[in-house]
Amino acid sequence: MIVPDEGYLAKAKQLCERENVLFMADEIQTGLCRTGKMLACDYENVRPDILILGKALGGGIMPISAVLADDEIMLTLKTG
């Protein structure tokens, strides 16, 4: 496991905002209290534009994943 330097996520989020790029956080391994906080992004108070979750959602019984975002982003996705 590689733990980024303090401030890394906040700087990445700022760069994405400056360049008008969505900031996606892949919390499949780290999400839902596995690091001591609900999400690893919570350590730097970073709110991703798109959040990817998995593993803990299925409790080790079912392989379940989720992609979360605000309506502004989610409503642009179409099937197919």
Q: What is the pTM of this model?
A: 0.86
- Sequence-ordered strand ranges (E) for the chain: 24-26, 50-53, 66-69
Q: Which residues, 6 or more positions from 57, have their beta carbon under 8 angstroms from its beta carbon?
A: 32, 64, 65, 66
Residue 10 has what pLDDT?
96
Residue 28 has what pLDDT?
86
For residues 26-51, average pLDDT: 91
Higher-pLDDT residue of 41, 29 = 41
Listed residue (38, 35, 37, 25) closest to 66, CA to CA: 25
Chain-centroid distance of CA 22 in Å reads 11
Confidence of residue 25 (pLDDT cuts 50, 70, 90): very high
Q: How far apart are CA 52 and CA 34, in angstroms?
A: 15
